[in-house]
Structure 1
Amino acid sequence: MATTPAAAAAAAAAGGAAILDTLGDFTSRENWDKFFALRGTGDSFEWYAEWDDLRAPLLSLLHGGGGAEGGGKAPEILVPGCGSSVLSERLYDAGFRRVTNVDFSRVLVADMLRRHARARPEMRWRVMDMTDMQFTDGSFDVILDKGGLDALMEPEAGTKLGMKYLNEAKRVLKSGGKFACLTLAESHVLALLLSEFRFGWDMSIQAIGNESSKSAFQTFMVVMVKGKMGVVHPIQSLLDQSGKFCNMKQANDVIHSLEKENTIRESYSSGVDITLSLRDLQLGAVGDLKVIIPGRRRMFILGDQGNSLYCYKAVLLDARKRTETFVYHCGVFIVPKVRAHEWLFASEEGQWHVVESAKAARLIMVFLDSRHANADMDVIKNDLSPLVKDLEPGNPEEEARIPFMMAGDGVKQREILQEVTSEITGPMVVEDVVYENNDEDQSSMTEKMFRRLIFKRNSGLVQSEALLVKDSTSDKADENNKKSPSASKKRRNQKKGPSGSKTVLRIDHSYLGSSYHSSIISGFSLIASALDSAAVAGTKVSTTVIGLGAGTLPMFLRGCLPFLDIKVVELDPLVEEVANKYFGFSTDEQLQVHLGDGIKFIDDIAVANSRATTQQLMSTGNENNAVKILIVDVDSSDVSSGLSCPHANFVEDSFLLAVKKFLDEGGLFIINLVSRSSAVREMVVSRLKAAFEHLYSLHLEEDLNEVLFATPSERCLDNNNMDEAVAKLKAMLKFPVNVESDMKKLQKLQ
């Protein structure tokens, strides 16, 4: 056993180190039984702080509202690890009859019962481990610990037993009750007390005089009053009222520790969003974890050395609204490193969206980083399971497992066709996928294969998706190929279909893989009469699409509305190359691609239009009556802004003014907006309202996309009879689009 102040004080009180050597360590029940047996019956043993020195501060504590119930009722007092001290009998004789003493030494308790049974009949004695007490919660008004914590906190043993004991002490103490710890305040003991009683406890400390014992070691009394969880109070130091210290080094160490702790507590109570530890949460830093507090959100660190394989940055979120539709009482949502920077996971508002989507009363969002790069996901989950169990709120289903969730795309089968990196767009992936079939009647379903284009800078977003279908023109070619010497080579180029059979698949350009693309086309109903007039007159309608992607939207437009004159503006040549090679994109007289900056393209035409309009008005007095369509369908490379689509530059006031000039008072501006932030969305809408006379919104319930339609004037607008406009548009479409369903969701914003 190390020679610590506590051990030295005990040795002095025991009459020397020889008898103390029988202990071996202070945490062994058998050793304490031997110790008390050797000392004999009827003997008292004080480690430190004699009653004459303790009498005044203890009686002041007990008479000063020690009873949590009030009304003058005598307090229920617990003395854990009582030993053979005279403390309890002195309290009893001072009028405090409701004293319960516990110690795990049967030898000691038997001796104390014999000693006090007649003289102090109301005093209670229990053989009990102070780290695992058998009392119900909130049983005591006051706990008096005289050296019990010090005995458990041998430096070699660590803090495990000390923490167990303090947890038990907190549990059995009533709200408003007092826990008085008489201690030598060694650094490791005081550090545990200060941290374990940081949240929700009023704490004070004073030095105990030693006139009676003449000890070389200073005894301190640390008092903790049980208050409201989550509240942080500064520690009240009464050391300046304690007079002369018998050990200045001890006193100076304690004063320094208190100053440091009060600085920490001040930072917690300042309102700054400090990253807490799991232990902080368990101690009540954000209130009672067993209770769901709507809207509670706090960042913290999960795990530490010795208790888990890894540490994790995490956020605890209690759903903002109480609802009967919660699927999970408590759930864990794991965010991979590649997605941690996204607004959905990095911002507070985005995190609340995840909570609502997860339908969890409490969600623990865990962020993976480079430390977890090579870890198997099952290892991560096994590591997290015991950690998050401590964060589970009170649940009637005590055995309910905490589910782990992670963003997934529901892909059953995947084949990557191409991975390429562009200096402009970054890494891109082309893949063929078959989705999981969740339909109950799976036997009646035919698996469909889709080709997807993914921009990895925004890994949660499938940029484009196209349906692969069997190429009927290949059947006859197959028969000829079988007879041809080169048949084996051609068969090697054939792609396996979803069933595994070799067949030739092609992109179906009559299929819209994105529901918001359908909404874009449905919105053409707003200018259906102008489109119908152009189609009847054989006039081409200028249609500009900024953002090519895989080319699925412009290819659909070309086949669906043949009178459109389509120009696609794409910044990245490699994107066009991918669209050509893998998605069947092609150009002709009706569909052209301009490689360049979309904003500059619009600006240049807007300037030219302004000059042409001025000249036209001067020469003829008439405006240009041609209808135009401008579609902005680009994603943002900066997903941390809360705006996934479009890039922020496309909603700047200067660009919107250029769009207005580009349309030249006649046409429709369509923008695909993806933002989980209501503030960002309102900002975009506000700017559009300022720039355009009319504004409409079509919000997709199943997606985050919101398609906005703006017009600079009423000249081309069908706003009197929308049913008639829908019918006109449907009559013009060569491919099926669910226009009626989409337009029922249309809202006029201005």
Structure 2
Amino acid sequence: MALDPATFETLTPSRFIAFTFPHPSQPDSLLRVAVLDAPIQPADAPRVAAMFVPEHRESDWIFSTESGHLQLVLGSSGISRLILIGNWPINGHCSPIIYHRAINHDSNGLEVSLKPLLLALSPKSLFENGIPEIPILSYEDNVICRVVVERCVGSFAGEMLVEDVEIESGSDVGECVKREFRRRLRFKRMPNLVQTEIRLVPWAGTDSGRLGIGEVEFRPDIEVLVHPYLAPMVASISLISSCIEERNQNGFRPKALCVGVGGGALLAFLKTQLGFDVVGVEADAEVLRVARQYFGLDDTESIQLIVGDATNVMEKIAYNANGHNLGYLGVHEAENGSYLRDGNDLNNKFDIIMVDLDSSDANDGTISPPLEFVQNHALLAAKMLLCDFGILAINVIAPSRSFYEKLIDEFREVFHELYEIDVGNEENFVLVATKSPTISCISNCENSFLNRLRLVTLGAYMDSIRKI
């Protein structure tokens, strides 16, 4: 069905239209053109921008789905309409098995040829002061090479993929550019957000001259945290390090509850590097399968997993502490048995609760935690699960300052003290809440746990914890 050009004369919040258009310099080829109007239109004059899809990434969910397009719009401040233009996937898939970033790809000729199209796709209000210039935005990330390892579908997360990537790091001025190998988990509903990322290292004996995605076998390295906000979350444990040290000296392993497992990088790190017994709560069993198969999550010892809604599970565990059974309340326990003993056992309480959840609705943008988690009853359940000196650390991505301030107000109503760690990437903060005043009964020089914590995390994060 032919498109009516008048369709694009007005801005309609959240309207998404995709169509094909003849390639101006390749007669036998088609372009895919997608137009999305921002869900919330700016109050001032409209702004329209275009973006050319990087070559060979046309089938990447970031560029080929409405949810990915929406995240690009939300990440471009003040844009009323974003026009995406890229090659049309051949037989529904045009990306090679292994993606390599194009070198010196020049789209200037295409920009000139398609300027009439961009003007035709602009609203009438943009022409009030004459013929406008449509800015061309560029998409840049640090991915040099990429291969999809598996695509699968979960009952809650929906379509997801595991991919191995080679990235550039240390590209700031004065830094030496390094190349690293990573494994990532992404969901189609939020394709621009990396759910889990771990470092990959080649198996011993690999020829160092042949290192490359698709050329050698890699294994997950679970001894380091590479996702930007995970090290700051772990650094928050320094607030109760003396209590953890005392636990260790008395022969007890500290306990952590991780709400939101993903690939399990945080759980594996807490177990292997800091000696925690860990319980993980994840809404989707397929995500846990992926974590075991591709991200090195081993739940055979000291890590136990529960499938269920985060808030419901926390409330039911708290209920269990009063003598009720989890199965009675419909929570699915891990195959290796119940991790709780009886309601009077102090081990039913956790030393730390770490929350890494994001909104499941792409229309909300990238928000963490989801609004339902910060309701009073959910926070009270978390507080009930903490031991007397316990802390809750939560990854926060706030769409606005008002959202963050409201979040802090909700936490203040339930918890004793609040602390903040700025991750330093202009996106994430770690909010830390304590059940009671933080105390230190062991000197730092005698605290082997604190020394270990400083060794395995960036000490700068421990030093930057700020009371709010």
Question: TM-score of the superposition, structure 1-length normalised?
Answer: 0.45
- What is the CA–CA distance in structure 1 between the aligned matches of 2:10 and 2:15, rounded to whole Å? 5
Question: Equivalent of 1:641, from 334, 343, 364?
Answer: 364
Q: How does 1:619-698 map to 2 (within 5 A)?
A: 628-641=351-364, 644-698=367-421
Question: Equivalent of 1:420, from 152, 157, 160?
Answer: 152
- Residue 190 of structure 2 corresponds to 458
Deviation, structure 1 residue 681: 2.2
- What is the CA–CA distance in structure 2 between the aligned matches of 1:438 and 1:624, rounded to whole Å? 42
How far does the alpha carbon of each residue in 1:600-623 deviate from its partner, in whole angstroms, 9 at most, with x for none? 3211221233569xxxxxxxxx99
- Residue 456 of structure 2 corresponds to 736
Q: Is the 8 A contact 1:610 1:661 kept in 2?
A: no
Q: Is the 8 A contact 1:277 1:301 kept in 2?
A: no
Q: Is the 8 A contact 2:255 2:351 kept in 1?
A: yes
Deviation, structure 1 residue 592: 1.8
Higher helix content, 1 or 2: 1
Question: Equivalent of 1:582, from 283, 291, 294?
Answer: 294
Secondary structure of the residue that 2:292 maps to in structure 1?
helix
Q: Are 1:332 and 2:58 counterparts?
A: no
Q: Is the 8 A contact 1:528 1:728 kept in 2?
A: no
Secondary structure of the residue that 2:395 maps to in structure 1?
strand
- What is the CA–CA distance in structure 2 between the aligned matches of 1:405 and 1:317, rounded to whole Å? 18
Secondary structure of the residue that 2:229 maps to in structure 1?
helix
Q: 1:595 to 1:333 in 2, by over 3 A?
A: same
Deviation, structure 1 residue 652: 1.3
Q: How does 1:229-240 map to 2 (within 5 A)?
A: none
- Residue 597 of structure 1 corresponds to 309
- What is the CA–CA distance in structure 2 between the aligned matches of 1:300 and 1:549, rounded to whole Å? 31
Identify the structure with bigger relative contact order (alpha carbons < 8 Å, sequence gap 6+): 2
- Residue 82 of structure 2 corresponds to 367
- What is the CA–CA distance in structure 2 between the aligned matches of 1:555 and 1:598, rounded to whole Å? 19
- What is the CA–CA distance in structure 1 between the aligned matches of 2:417 and 2:225, rounded to whole Å? 27
Q: Are 1:745 and 2:456 counterparts?
A: no
How far does the alpha carbon of each residue in 1:213-248 deviate from its partner, in whole angstroms, 9 at most, with x for none? xxxxxxxxxxxxxxxxxxxxxxxxxxxxxxxxxxxx
- What is the CA–CA distance in structure 2 between the aligned matches of 1:666 and 1:705, rounded to whole Å? 25
- What is the CA–CA distance in structure 1 between the aligned matches of 2:307 and 2:357, rounded to whole Å? 14
Q: Are 1:513 and 2:226 counterparts?
A: yes
- Residue 266 of structure 2 corresponds to 553
> RMSD between aligned alpha carbons?
4.7
> What letter corresponds to residue 339 of structure 1 in structure 2?
S
How far does the alpha carbon of each residue in 1:147-187 deviate from its partner, in whole angstroms, 9 at most, with x for none? xxxxxxxxxxxxxxxxxxxxxxxxxxxxxxxxxxxxxxxxx
Q: Are 1:526 and 2:261 counterparts?
A: no
Deviation, structure 1 residue 343: 7.2
Q: Is the 8 A contact 2:315 2:378 kept in 1?
A: yes
Q: Is the 8 A contact 2:418 2:433 kept in 1?
A: yes
How far does the alpha carbon of each residue in 1:63-110 deviate from its partner, in whole angstroms, 9 at most, with x for none? xxxxxxxxxxxxxxxxxxxxxxxxxxxxxxxxxxxxxxxxxxxxxxxx
Q: Are 1:699 and 2:422 counterparts?
A: yes
Deviation, structure 1 residue 420: 0.7
Question: Could you tell which deviates more after superposition, 683-692 or 699-708?
Answer: 699-708
Q: Are 1:354 and 2:86 counterparts?
A: no
How far does the alpha carbon of each residue in 1:12-50 deviate from its partner, in whole angstroms, 9 at most, with x for none? xxxxxxxxxxxxxxxxxxxxxxxxxxxxxxxxxxxxxxx
Q: 1:552 to 1:300 in 2, by over 3 A?
A: closer
Q: Is the 8 A contact 1:642 1:680 kept in 2?
A: no
How far does the alpha carbon of each residue in 1:642-688 deviate from its partner, in whole angstroms, 9 at most, with x for none? 56222322111111111111114331111112221223222222111
> What letter corresponds to residue 363 of structure 2 in structure 1?
S
Q: Is the 8 A contact 2:36 2:82 kept in 1?
A: yes
Q: How does 1:190-269 map to 2 (within 5 A)?
A: none
Secondary structure of the residue that 1:354 maps to in structure 2?
coil
- Residue 504 of structure 1 corresponds to 217
Question: What 5-or-longer segments of structure 1 have no aligned partner?
Answer: 1-274, 279-297, 303-308, 321-329, 346-350, 356-362, 395-399, 479-495, 613-621
- Residue 24 of structure 2 corresponds to none
Q: 1:319 to 1:558 in 2, by over 3 A?
A: farther
Secondary structure of the residue that 2:76 maps to in structure 1?
helix
> What letter corresponds to residue 156 of structure 2 in structure 1?
I
Question: TM-score of the superposition, structure 2-length normalised?
Answer: 0.69
Deviation, structure 1 residue 332: 2.7
Secondary structure of the residue that 2:233 maps to in structure 1?
helix
Q: 1:536 to 1:406 in 2, by over 3 A?
A: same
- What is the CA–CA distance in structure 2 between the aligned matches of 1:748 and 1:443, rounded to whole Å? 32
- What is the CA–CA distance in structure 1 between the aligned matches of 2:297 and 2:348, rounded to whole Å? 32
Q: 1:467 to 1:674 in 2, by over 3 A?
A: same
How far does the alpha carbon of each residue in 1:352-380 deviate from its partner, in whole angstroms, 9 at most, with x for none? x733xxxxxxx6543359x9995999579
- What is the CA–CA distance in structure 2 between the aligned matches of 1:276 and 1:406, rounded to whole Å? 25
Question: What 5-or-longer segments of structure 2 have no aligned partner?
Answer: 1-7, 18-30, 52-61, 95-106, 325-344
Q: Is the 8 A contact 1:638 1:644 kept in 2?
A: no
Q: 1:531 to 1:343 in 2, by over 3 A?
A: same
Q: Is the 8 A contact 2:164 2:213 kept in 1?
A: no
- What is the CA–CA distance in structure 2 between the aligned matches of 1:590 and 1:626, rounded to whole Å? 15
Q: Is the 8 A contact 2:454 2:462 kept in 1?
A: no
Q: Is the 8 A contact 1:344 1:676 kept in 2?
A: no
> What letter corresponds to residue 700 of structure 1 in structure 2?
V
> What letter corresponds to residue 154 of structure 2 in structure 1?
S
> What letter corresponds to residue 357 of structure 2 in structure 1?
V
- What is the CA–CA distance in structure 1 between the aligned matches of 2:79 and 2:365, rounded to whole Å? 21
- Residue 58 of structure 2 corresponds to none
- What is the CA–CA distance in structure 2 between the aligned matches of 1:560 and 1:513, rounded to whole Å? 14
Secondary structure of the residue that 1:665 maps to in structure 2?
strand
Deviation, structure 1 residue 425: 0.9
Q: Which has the larger radius of gyration?
A: 1
Q: 1:626 to 1:372 in 2, by over 3 A?
A: closer
- What is the CA–CA distance in structure 2 between the aligned matches of 1:633 and 1:526, rounded to whole Å? 19
Q: Is the 8 A contact 2:201 2:219 kept in 1?
A: yes
Q: Is the 8 A contact 1:642 1:677 kept in 2?
A: no
Q: Is the 8 A contact 1:561 1:734 kept in 2?
A: no
Q: Is the 8 A contact 1:626 1:666 kept in 2?
A: no
- Residue 712 of structure 1 corresponds to 435
> What letter corresponds to residue 407 of structure 2 in structure 1?
V
- What is the CA–CA distance in structure 1 between the aligned matches of 2:436 and 2:184, rounded to whole Å? 38
- Residue 86 of structure 1 corresponds to none
Q: Is the 8 A contact 1:331 1:405 kept in 2?
A: no
> What letter corresponds to residue 147 of structure 2 in structure 1?
E
Q: 1:548 to 1:625 in 2, by over 3 A?
A: closer
Q: 1:277 to 1:437 in 2, by over 3 A?
A: same
Q: Is the 8 A contact 1:412 1:435 kept in 2?
A: yes
Question: Equivalent of 1:430, from 157, 162, 169?
Answer: 162
| Alignment length (residue pairs) | 392
> What letter corresponds to residue 601 of structure 1 in structure 2?
V
- Residue 200 of structure 2 corresponds to 468
- What is the CA–CA distance in structure 2 between the aligned matches of 1:543 and 1:367, rounded to whole Å? 43
Secondary structure of the residue that 1:713 maps to in structure 2?
coil
Question: Could you tell which deviates more after superposition, 436-445 or 648-657?
Answer: 436-445
Secondary structure of the residue that 2:358 maps to in structure 1?
coil
- Residue 98 of structure 2 corresponds to none
Deviation, structure 1 residue 554: 0.8
- Residue 28 of structure 2 corresponds to none
Q: 1:499 to 1:603 in 2, by over 3 A?
A: closer
- What is the CA–CA distance in structure 1 between the aligned matches of 2:441 and 2:365, rounded to whole Å? 36
Identity of counterpart residues, as a percentage? 26
- What is the CA–CA distance in structure 2 between the aligned matches of 1:697 and 1:594, rounded to whole Å? 29
